[in-house]
Amino acid sequence: QNGVARPKGYTVSWHYNPSVENHHFGQTHPMKPWRLTLTKSLVLSYGMHQAMDSYVSRAATKEELAEFHKDEYVDFLSVATPQNIYEMYPELATGTLGYSSHIFGVGDDCPIFDGLFEFCSTYTGASIDAARKLCAKQSDIAINWSGGLHHAKKGEASGFCYVNDIVLAILQLLRYHSRVLYIDIDVHHGDGVEQAFWSTDRVMCVSFHKYDKEVFFPGTGPLESTGPIHPDNPGKNYTINVPLNDGIDDESYDYLFRNVIDPAIKIFHPTAIVLQCGADSLGHDRLGCFNLNIRGHGACVSFVKSYGIPLLVVGGGGYTPRNVARAWAHETSILIGADRTLDPALPEHMPHRDAFRKEGFTLFPNLGGWRRENLNSRADIEKIIRHVREQLAGIRG
Ligand code: V1P
Ligand code: CA
Ligand code: ZN
């Protein structure tokens, strides 16, 4: 505790505004900003802030949001409240539209709650600030655990995501960087980011996710979905999808991750990388179905970091708050180079320590081997690796 040294030779910045903690999607909604409170508590109690430049991020402006999103959607987000939404759109009140509506995606997944616009502009401001720090070379690794909301579309909310902070951050990076690699280890498909950069060869999008077209949200991202098919479209082959079955464990995930990401980096030569670290790919997640441990999830972060390419790290999903906090605290320690020296026993004195009681006060509880068996065979994994290699061969020259 309090013994975390600054990394030698590179700069890490942490972008955060605690006002995101004050917003709530609703009592029964699985997205809990509380996970960010717990993450902050661990990062500060371990003294990891001493190894980073900390920035209290500002809210993104409407003009900044409109660099990707439609003006009418940004206007809608900026005025909608739980009080006026039914006056503006009586269809929502009658329930005739069902679970998710055509009214800018508002519904059970993406409710209108108090302070929605402040929440969206704050998590987005942090991702934009983080990207600008990388562009200015004032930072080598920039972190925003409150961002990573990969499903938001140009003109509508989707899957708990209203503003796509990742797309907006990548647009900032593209001002200074010729090629950006986007990697997404959230258990869900990164469809919003994929869609935004579908037709360009300046952004390569790679998502690992559970895929079951009819059953698992959002139902997109099969292996064959690799970009536009027309040979003249520059985006052809610049999208990589890694569809998985339930129960994947640390060992297979690590093997697959290395064998997809290494060739992608060697062929694409990104000048910046954005890593979305959705923690719903951990075992025991309320919505997820994988068997990853905190160390297995973190191994992806270590591997990406090892290339020494300017790196933006964002959060994403994660629905068992205490494990989300454990994962993101551990990953912060990896990014500042303190993972080997951090005590796995949680600090004796820290706010909300009791939230970690259930698994014992450790950073690394056993999250693998729960109710799901690994339904990804060795042959499934090898098939994916072969497909990706053949796909990447198609973008050379
Ligand atoms: O399955 C659906 C929709 C509803 N159907 C008509 C399809 N929605 C999912 C959304 C998951 C979003 C994940 C976001 C992220 O990738 C990035 C932040 O992690 C859903 C689920 C589920 N089990 O998949 N919504 C809900 N559960 C939900 C449950 C209770 C209250 C509100 C929403
Ligand atoms: Ca994913
Ligand atoms: Zn997710």
∠ CA(307), CA(143), CA(124), 5° rounding?
A: 125
| Adjacent-strand bridge partners of 312 | 142, 274
CA dist., res. 180 & res. 237, Å (int): 15
55: enclosing H helix or E strand: strand 53-56
CA dist., res. 379 & res. 190, Å (int): 25
DSSP track, 148-161: --TT-BTTB-BTTB
**For atom 21 of ligand 1, which residue has the closest CA?**
287
204: enclosing H helix or E strand: strand 203-210
Q: Is 221 helix (H, G, I), strand (E, B) or coil?
A: coil
Residue 381: how many CB atoms within 10 A of its CB?
18
* Pocket of ligand 1 contains residue 107 by CB under 6 Å: no
Comparing C-alpha atoms, which of 151, 163, 141, 155 is closest to residue 187?
A: 151
Q: How far is the CA of 294 from the centre of ligand 1 (A)?
A: 23
Please tell me the number of the ligand nearest to residue 276's CA.
2
* Pocket of ligand 1 contains residue 245 by CB under 6 Å: no
Q: What is the pLDDT of residues 63-78, one digit of tens each?
A: 999 999 999 999 999 9
Alpha helices in the chain (DSSP H): 34-45, 62-65, 71-79, 85-88, 90-94, 116-135, 165-176, 191-196, 250-268, 294-305, 321-335, 378-393
Phi, psi torsion values for 364, nearest 5 degrees: -125, 70
Domain extents in the chain: 12-393
Does the predicted interface ipTM exceed a cut of 0.95? yes
**For atom 26 of ligand 1, which residue has the closest CA?**
109
Confidence class of residue 1 from pLDDT cuts 50, 70 and 90?
Answer: very low
Quote the DSSP letter at residue 346: P
CA dist., res. 385 & res. 381, Å (int): 6
- Residue 100 has a pLDDT of 47
- pLDDT, average across residues 6-21: 97
The active-site residue, picked from 177, 188, 189, 284, is: 189
Q: What is the pLDDT of residues 294-307, one digit of tens each?
A: 999 999 999 999 99
Q: What is the pLDDT of residues 280-329, one digit of tens each?
A: 999 999 999 999 999 999 999 999 999 999 999 999 999 999 999 999 99
**For atom 4 of ligand 1, which residue has the closest CA?**
99
CA dist., res. 290 & res. 250, Å (int): 9
Q: How far is the CA of 268 from the centre of ligand 2 (A)?
A: 20
CA distances 59 to 40, 64, 122, Å, are: 19, 10, 4
Reply yes or no on whether the pLDDT at 227 is more than 80: yes
∠ CA(136), CA(331), CA(148), 5° rounding?
A: 65
Q: Are 298 and 199 in contact (CB under 8 A)?
A: no
Q: How far is the CA of 110 from the centre of ligand 1 (A)?
A: 9
Q: What is the pLDDT of residues 160-213, one digit of tens each?
A: 999 999 999 999 999 999 999 999 999 999 999 999 999 999 999 999 999 999
Q: Is 163 helix (H, G, I), strand (E, B) or coil?
A: coil
Q: Which residues fall within 8 angstroms of residue 299, CB to CB, at 6 or more apart?
A: 250, 254, 257
* Pocket of ligand 1 contains residue 316 by CB under 6 Å: yes
Q: What is the pLDDT of residues 125-152, one digit of tens each?
A: 999 999 999 999 999 999 999 999 999 9
Confidence class of residue 90 from pLDDT cuts 50, 70 and 90?
Answer: confident
Confidence class of residue 222 from pLDDT cuts 50, 70 and 90?
Answer: very high
* Pocket of ligand 1 contains residue 105 by CB under 6 Å: no
pTM score over 0.90: yes
Q: Are 207 and 184 in contact (CB under 8 A)?
A: yes
Q: What is the pLDDT of residues 92-117, one digit of tens each?
A: 876 665 544 579 999 999 999 999 99
- Residue 92 has a pLDDT of 80
12-393 folds as: Arginase; Chain A (3.40.800)
CA dist., res. 203 & res. 182, Å (int): 7
* Pocket of ligand 1 contains residue 99 by CB under 6 Å: yes
Active site residue 15: no
Reply yes or no on whether the pLDDT at 397 is more than 60: no
Q: Are 325 and 44 in contact (CB under 8 A)?
A: no
Q: Are 246 and 285 in contact (CB under 8 A)?
A: no
* Pocket of ligand 1 contains residue 306 by CB under 6 Å: no
- Residue 91 has a pLDDT of 79
* Mean of per-residue pLDDT scores for the chain: 96
Q: Residues in the chain, how many?
A: 397
Q: Are 192 and 68 in contact (CB under 8 A)?
A: no
